[in-house]
A and B are shown apart, each in its own frame.
Chain A
Amino acid sequence: MERKIKYTEEELVSLLKNKDAIAYNVLYDNYSASLYGIISRIIPAEEIAQDILQDVFVKIWKAIEHYDKSKGRLFTWMLNIARNSAIDYSRSKQFKLENKIQDIDNSVYEVNKQKSSSFNTDLIGVKEEVIKLKDDYRILIDLIYFKGFTQEEAAKELNIPLGTVKTRVRAAIIELRKTLK
């Protein structure tokens, strides 16, 4: 993930709205890895994930002029487009027919020791340190970040108190921060 130039949110948005080659370079260089990471986490099959990534960029490119920063962060907006595209695909008949890939639920949050190999750096490019994230934390982050669960839904899903979810998400973020340079 290369982020050569650091733009503020406002600079980035106005830059992207120009829709020129510079805008595309900035958009792709800043977000492709994060978005591809999200998509791959939901749809591990590389070719499909790449097709979805393409579609996601097309959607972003078309919709960028309507992006309203009062509706949330630019990344949040892109994250939702990527996540929804991947989740939509995972629910499609085509996906179920192909059945080549693990069930979305498994890939997203039923993480356990046996399956941890499917989340290693070879498959999805996750850094070594991220792999070391405690399972408790990772399951939660997967649910909330990749599957788009609210914290409340995650609490219900995992049958743990909401307060615990909040504490763990926070702890996970702090843990993950250590992986930032």
Chain B
Amino acid sequence: MTVEEYISSGIIERYIVGELSEKERIDVEAMAMQYPEVKAEIELTEATLMNFASKTPPVRLKQKIAGRLDINTAKVIPLNEKKSSSLMWLVAASLLLLVGSSIYNVILTTKLSETEDQLAVINSQNQKFVSDFDAQSKSYGEMAQQMAILMNPNNNKVMLKGMDIAPTALAIVYWNKQNKDVYINVNALPSAADGMQYQLWAIVDGKPVDIGMLDMNPDLPPLHKMKSINGAQAFAVTLEKKGGSPTPNMNAMYLMGNV
């Protein structure tokens, strides 16, 4: 049976006039709960029957009947009303407070989580700044050291120029004749093949003396400290097997410069 058929089955009229069995009545009420149109039909039918043949009694009857009823007195009414209404207000206010506080709670939780996220971002940024700063400091310290080397008037600047096998190669050696310190700055050198490494030689009294291997790591400061040497007349760079050779390979001389 469709809702429409149910409504027009006549059961609602019977429900209003009170002729249904308990089972039928419960059924109608269940239908009314489920279907708004059934509920509306009940209300409309009731209003129709209430309106049908209604007859307004004489006005005086209202007062007369009131006199026969045990109506809660005027003194009690406002008190009761006040009590119940103040209780109602209290309940309403509490509910409002509860709802409000729940909403506020959600807002606060959301804000807290946002704030935590922001804090995490700021912390990680801060860490980055600290590490950047450390790196910059370190870098600055290195630069200052390198500057000191360059600015030291006791350091002799020796240009090592590219030989025929690498005409564009270039390096500068800074050699302190007083404390014997040697630094090299490689400006340009072809990258060494695997298993090979550049080696710096000092020519002392016409003989090559090993003063260290070149570390081509680009992350290191440009000026590399080499082994100290005394009485060098010239410096040269050869390509040797990794770790260096006791004597230079004269066929693989890349750079050479006289003091």
- Identity of the chain A residue whose Cβ is nearest the Cβ of B55 in the assembled complex: A125
Q: How far is the CB of A37 from chain B (nearest CB, A)?
A: 4
Interface string of B69-86 (1 = CB under 8 A from A): 111101011001100000
How far apart are the CA atoms of A150 and B62 in the complex, in Å? 32
How far apart are the CA atoms of A20 and B79 in the complex, in Å? 11
Contacting residues, chain B, for A165 (C-beta < 8 A): 10
B57 touches A145 (CB 8 A): no
How far apart are the CA atoms of A169 and B16 in the complex, in Å? 12
Chain A contact-residue range equals: 35 or more
A33 touches B17 (CB 8 A): no
**Given A80-B18, A177-B44 in contact, is the A53-B8 Cβ separation under 8 Å?**
no
A57 touches B48 (CB 8 A): no
- Identity of the chain B residue whose Cβ is nearest the Cβ of A30 in the assembled complex: B50
Q: Which of B15, B52, B74 has the most CB of A within 10 A?
A: B52
A72 touches B15 (CB 8 A): yes
**B23: interface (CB < 8 Å):** no
**Given A21-B74, A151-B10 in contact, is the A37-B65 Cβ separation under 8 Å?**
no
A124 touches B71 (CB 8 A): no
Interface string of B8-24 (1 = CB under 8 A from A): 11100111111110000
Contacting residues, chain B, for A146 (C-beta < 8 A): 53
Q: How far is the CB of B148 from chain A (nearest CB, A)?
A: 94
Give the residues from 16 to 51 in chain A that come closer than 8 angstroms, CB to CB, to chain B: 18-24, 28, 31-34, 36-38, 40-41, 50
Contacting residues, chain A, for B47 (C-beta < 8 A): 180
A180 touches B53 (CB 8 A): no
**Given A57-B65, A170-B10 in contact, is the A19-B71 Cβ separation under 8 Å?**
yes
Give the residues from 30 to 54 in chain B that come closer than 8 angstroms, CB to CB, to chain A: 42, 44-54
Q: From the candidates A18, A19, A33, name the one contacting B57 in the complex (CB within 8 A).
A: A33
A176 touches B51 (CB 8 A): yes
How far apart are the CA atoms of A164 and B74 in the complex, in Å? 53
**A12: interface (CB < 8 Å):** no
Contacting residues, chain A, for B45 (C-beta < 8 A): 173
Q: How far is the CB of B44 from chain A (nearest CB, A)?
A: 7
Give the residues from 63 to 116 in chain B that come closer than 8 angstroms, CB to CB, to chain A: 64-66, 68-72, 74, 76-77, 80-81
How far apart are the CA atoms of A148 and B18 in the complex, in Å? 8
**Given A72-B25, A170-B8 in contact, is the A36-B56 Cβ separation under 8 Å?**
yes
B13 touches A176 (CB 8 A): no
Q: How far is the CB of A7 from chain B (nearest CB, A)?
A: 12
Contacting residues, chain A, for B74 (C-beta < 8 A): 21
Q: From the candidates A18, A28, A76, A126, name the one contacting B55 in the complex (CB within 8 A).
A: A126
**A73: interface (CB < 8 Å):** yes
**A141: interface (CB < 8 Å):** yes
How far apart are the CA atoms of A169 and B77 in the complex, in Å? 44
Give the residues from 114 to 135 in chain A that come closer than 8 angstroms, CB to CB, to chain B: 124-127, 130
A76 touches B51 (CB 8 A): no
B15 touches A76 (CB 8 A): yes
How far apart are the CA atoms of A106 and B47 in the complex, in Å? 26
Contacting residues, chain B, for A156 (C-beta < 8 A): none
Q: How far is the CB of A39 from chain B (nearest CB, A)?
A: 9
B10 touches A75 (CB 8 A): no
Q: From the candidates A21, A28, A34, name the one contacting B65 in the complex (CB within 8 A).
A: A28
**Given A141-B52, A170-B10 in contact, is the A150-B19 Cβ separation under 8 Å?**
yes
